[in-house]
């Protein structure tokens, strides 16, 4: 089965072709990131206008790259939620027009769950049940997956998402946007034990909160003279405490549900300290830990096509009234 995936939930416009649930024939992503940089965050209006301008061209390029003709597409899978409304609308409208003109089925797909599915594109079949952690710019969720069509949310952030906290801390430190990779770079050579930051512990132990740590960074920076040494220690200490809480709660979820496979996904999963820490801690706890390749951690359409194909096979259907 050849699935066309379309992803336009934030600043990226992604079009991908995935064959038989795992072979990625094309995976193209165009980002309007540089237009948002000077604003320190994504401006929805700019994102959707760029998506509108670029989506048809990216689709044509993806067809060429995958060496297929539009008539060979068996299913059009598109992100319907969550995301920026204007951006989602562009992808959904394009997907509907394509499905209608080709006479092919269309399926709406959840963006967060697709981040988990990116692991299956990289590692082949992974035995369910799994615990999954999605850490992105908009979401931090712990999931229990016995079946991809029935996903249970065990915990999520009560305020900022983990990636959002990286972005905001980087902004406070004057590093730029997006903050995750910049914090990671700055943290290299810094003393991660220098400053003790702690993420607030919730009553519900599998929920997260990252807004307090961001405020702690703000207060820490207030009276300090900024120097490169302080910035390095601050970035390393913040990164350490944000990652520690992710590891701790993910392993707790595995223990509570008696699950041995842990899948991580989302943009923050590209962080090399996070990957090392998860690997080491999971190994010590006897848990198998999986990450997507770096390019599939970020927003992309291959994960949408892969997950869409998986759900379609399990009987999921949408129609042309599909919406956000
Ligand atoms: O999954 P994603 O591409 O988009 C959303 O669905 O939100 O994630 C983007 C987020 C941003 O907050 C970005 O700062 C963060 O992922 N990120 C990182 C790293 N690379 C991207 N965070 C920490 N370390 C990184 N290396
Ligand atoms: Zn995402």
Question: How high is the pLDDT of residue 41?
Answer: 86
The minimum-distance atom of ligand 1 relative to the CA of 178 is 14
Question: How high is the pLDDT of residue 292?
Answer: 98
The helix-helix angle for 179-187 and 228-257 (nearest 10°) equals 110
Residue of 43, 55, 87, 78 whose CA lies nearest to 318:
78
Q: Check pocket membership of 160 for ligand 1, CB cut-off 6 A.
A: no
The minimum-distance atom of ligand 1 relative to the CA of 138 is 7
Decide if 2-117+297-313 and 125-291 have a common fold. yes
Q: Check pocket membership of 271 for ligand 1, CB cut-off 6 A.
A: yes
Q: Is 125-291 a CATH 3.40.50.980 domain? A: no
**Rounded CA gap, 209 and 165, in Å?**
10
Question: How high is the pLDDT of residue 194?
Answer: 94
Domain boundaries, the chain: 2-117+297-313, 125-291
Minimum CA distance residue for ligand 1 atom 10: 137
Q: What is the model's pTM?
A: 0.96
What is the whole-number distance in angstroms between the Cα of residue 70 and the centre of ligand 2? 26
In tens, the pLDDT along 273-305 reads: 999 999 999 999 999 999 999 999 999 999 999
Minimum CA distance residue for ligand 1 atom 2: 267
Q: Check pocket membership of 181 for ligand 1, CB cut-off 6 A.
A: yes
Question: How high is the pLDDT of residue 198?
Answer: 81
- Give the DSSP H or E segment for 7: strand 2-7
Which residues are found with C-beta within 5 Å of the ion, ligand 2? 136, 299
Q: Which CATH superfamily is domain 2-117+297-313 in?
A: ATPase, nucleotide binding domain (3.30.420.40)
Q: Check pocket membership of 308 for ligand 1, CB cut-off 6 A.
A: no
**Rounded CA gap, 235 and 254, in Å?**
29
Q: Is-contact 214 169, C-beta < 8 A?
A: yes
Mean pLDDT in each 10-residue stretch from start to end of the chain (324 residues)? 98 97 96 88 94 98 98 98 98 98 98 98 95 96 96 96 96 93 97 89 86 92 84 96 96 98 98 98 98 97 98 97 95
Question: How high is the pLDDT of residue 18?
Answer: 98
């Amino acid at each position: 089965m050849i699935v066309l995936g379309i992803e336009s939930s934030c600043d990226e416009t992604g079009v991908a072709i995935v064959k038989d649930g795992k072979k990625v024939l094309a995976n193209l992503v165009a980002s309007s990131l540089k237009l948002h940089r000077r604003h320190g965050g994504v401006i929805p209006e700019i994102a959707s206008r760029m998506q509108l301008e670029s989506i048809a061209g990216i689709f044509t390029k993806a067809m060429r790259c995958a060496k297929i003709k539009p008539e060979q597409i068996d299913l059009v899978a598109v992100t319907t939620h969550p995301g920026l409304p204007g951006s989602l609308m562009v992808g959904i409208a394009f997907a509907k027009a394509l499905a209608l003109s080709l006479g092919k089925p269309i399926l709406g797909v959840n963006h967060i769950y697709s981040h988990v599915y990116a692991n299956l594109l990289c590692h082949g079949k992974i035995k369910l049940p799994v615990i999954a952690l999605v850490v992105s710019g908009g979401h931090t969720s712990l999931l229990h997956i016995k079946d991809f069509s029935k996903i249970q949310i065990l915990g999520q952030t009560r305020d900022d998402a983990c990636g959002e906290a990286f972005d905001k801390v980087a902004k406070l430190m004057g590093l730029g946007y997006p903050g995750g990779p910049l914090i990671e770079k700055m943290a290299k050579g810094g003393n991660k034990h220098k400053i003790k930051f702690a993420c607030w512990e919730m009553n519900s132990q599998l929920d997260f909160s990252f807004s307090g740590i961001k405020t702690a960074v703000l207060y820490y920076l207030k009276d300090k003279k900024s120097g490169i040494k302080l910035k390095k220690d601050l970035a390393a200490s913040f990164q350490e405490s944000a990652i520690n809480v992710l590891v701790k709660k993910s392993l707790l979820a595995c223990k509570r549900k008696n699950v041995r496979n842990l899948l991580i996904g989302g943009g923050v999963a590209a962080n090399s300290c996070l990957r090392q820490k998860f690997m080491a801690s999971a190994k010590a706890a006897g848990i198998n830990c999986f990450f997507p390749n770096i390019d599939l951690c970020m927003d992309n359409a291959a994960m949408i096509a892969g997950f869409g194909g998986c759900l379609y096979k399990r009987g999921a259907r949408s129609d042309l009234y599909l919406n956000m």
